[in-house]
Amino acid sequence: MIKEKEYVKRRSALVKKLKRHSITILLSAKAQQRSNDTEYPYRQNSNFYYMCGFKEDNAALVIVKKDKNSKTYLFVQKKDELLELWTGKRLGKKEAKAIFNVDAVFTMDKFDKQITELFKDKLSLYFDFTMKDERVDQLRELGSNLLCHYNISHKVGELRLCKSNAEITLIKKALSITKEAHHLAMSKAKNLNSEDELQAEIEYVFKKRGAYSDAYTSIVACGNNANTLHYIKNDEKLQNNKLILIDAGCEYDYYASDITRTIPVNGKFTQAQKELYSMILSVEKEIIRMVKAGVMRTDLHTKSEELLCEGLISLGILKGDVKKLIKKKKLKKYYPHGIGHWMGLDVHDTGPYKDTKGKEIPLLAGMVMTVEPGIYIPEDDTSVPKRFRGIGIRIEDDILVTKDACENLSNEIFKEIEDIESL
């Protein structure tokens, strides 16, 4: 759990990035309609949550910076017994003021009046104008006479790049649950009939162990289905002698995990599966060894391309010179995605990959990123030896960057062939 003093520290760090005589507005996520009068389970906007930890909808966080001083205001939905009868208890103004270390708490019915007053004498507005909220036009109009508008998402994203110890603890907790889920999948796959049955076993563990939800829609792809990168139908039969690509991770107290393992349905890899899997695993391990502060993410990706291309040549799947095959995008047919992405409050964390001048941001101690090389060979690709056709393999771990090396936070989740087969 993130303590209140950490949210205060985050806001102080944000204030240092803001212009003087500015107003910053962060809105909560809106409840999303599922169908007719039903809604999806509510999940708070990540940037809003990062800056204050408030989990209810219909809320706003406002930061006003004058010269050197700043004031923080939290707007919350007022207490309403009838509404709470249907949707659950609300903190309300009084309890929110007792919990959250802000200068003042107002109810949202006072937002229009208060925000108009707070806009007076300001020169700059920080806001995310891409949000789908009825207040966007109002804020745009109020800010029309200001000198500058800035995207607050980029500023908050910069802060989110490096995780605190408390954040890393939550990610580790999410991974401990995800570990249990993947190991259960490895042990049960051969006794189940379909992809969705396997998905149910995985997500049962998430719920049972207290995870908020899955961090993203689980991918459980058997055989050739693994060659669709974002396959989420998960409704086909499990086939003997085929592999299952499982990309599934839970979210614990808003923090994500993101793990992919590829396992044999019947518990034993065929020779062709073993050869391709071993090659990809060796590449993943080599890239993880390269991760440390100061390294460029693009260099990790470039190295993964070289190693995977060499591996495919050695297996007879590609023919030719490594550099030429990569330049002509022959490898991209089988390795179409990047080596990894930032991870945190969002499974694909919104932290920037380049600074405001367009220069790539190097890896920094405290960043968490995925490393996930993969090879995907469609079953109708007659240019490839028949024994490899219809195989899709990805191996993905969550890596914490440290000053001189890195820590594989998901290292305990089995990925060695003998360990997977032992389950």
Catalogue the active-site residues.
37, 230, 247, 258, 337, 341, 348, 372, 376, 394, 396
The CA–CA distances, whole Å, from 69 to 14, 20, 24, 96, 180 equal: 13, 9, 14, 23, 48
Give the three-state DSSP class for 166: helix
Whole-number Å distance between alpha carbons of 300 and 66: 43
Number of C-beta neighbours around residue 122 at 10 A? 20
Number of C-beta neighbours around residue 346 at 10 A? 19
375 closest CA partner among 336, 325, 326: 336
Element (H, E) at 421: helix 417-422
The CA–CA distances, whole Å, from 380 to 69, 189, 222, 333, 384 equal: 65, 26, 16, 13, 9
Whole-number Å distance between alpha carbons of 320 and 314: 10
Element (H, E) at 83: helix 81-87
Nearest-5° Cα angle at 211, 249 to 406: 50
